[in-house]
Amino acid sequence: MARTQSYERSISPSAAVGSRYRYRGVPAPDPAVARAEELLSLLAQHKRMISLRSSRLRALSLELNERVAQAFCDGVKVAPLARAAGLPAATVRVIGAQDELYPSGQSPEAHLRTITTLAAEVESVEAARTAVEQTRAGVLATARKLRLLDDYQLAAASGLKHEEIRKVTRGITTPQAS
C-alpha cells in the first residue's frame, strides 16, 4: 500500500529576503499606512497612560485633602500643614473648614509625616503624567510633520480637541524622519 503525502509549499515574505514574491497575491504593505497605524497605536497608548495617571492623581489628591482636613481638625497649625502638603496656607484653611470630622487622636508629627509622604507621591505622579504628555506632544509633532494623519485623526487618537493639536505641537522640534 503506497502512501501519498501532500506537501504544501509556501514562501513567506521573511523567507524570501530581497525578493518581491508574495504568495497568493498579497499586495506589498504601504509603508505610509503602516507608519500611520503605528502612530495611532502609540497615541492611543499615551492616551491610556495619561488617563491612568490622572485617575491616580485624583485619588491621591483626595486622600491628601482628607488627611490635611483631619490634621487641621486635630489641631495641627496651618503653616506646618501648608509646608508638608506643598499647598498655600489659604488652601489649607479652605480644606480644613470641613465640619463633619472628629478628632482622631493622632499626634501632629504623625499627621505631618503622612501628609509629606502623600504630597511627595502626588508630585511624582504629576511628574510622570507631565512626562507622558510631553512624549505625546513629540509624537503629535512628528505625525504632523510627516503628514501621515490630519489634525482630526490625531485629535481622535490622542484625546485632545483638534484645535489643541497645533497649540500642543507649536515649537516642538522633531528628529529627522527617514
Listed in order, strand segments (DSSP E) in the chain are none
| Grid cell locating 27 | 499586495
On whether the CB atoms of residues 63 and 56 are closer than 8 A, the answer is: no
Domain spans of the chain, in order of start: 30-162
- Can you say whether the dihedral through the CA atoms of 23, 26, 32, 33 is positive or negative? negative
- d(Cα 115, Cα 123) in Å, to the nearest integer? 12
Query: Angle formed by the axes of helices 78-85 and 31-73, to 10°?
Result: 160
What's the one-letter identity of residue 148?
L
- d(Cα 168, Cα 174) in Å, to the nearest integer? 13
Alpha helices (H) in the chain, listed in sequence order: 31-73, 78-85, 89-95, 108-146, 151-158, 162-169
Judge if pTM exceeds 0.85. Answer: no
pLDDT tens digits along 92-128: 999 988 778 888 888 999 999 999 999 999 999 999 9
Least confident of 13-22, 33-42, 49-58: 13-22
pLDDT tens digits along 125-147: 999 999 999 999 999 998 888 88
What's the one-letter identity of residue 167?
K
On whether the CB atoms of residues 109 and 131 are closer than 8 A, the answer is: no
Question: CA nearest 115: which of 79, 65, 73?
Answer: 65
| Grid cell locating 176 | 529627522
What pLDDT sits at residue 3? 52
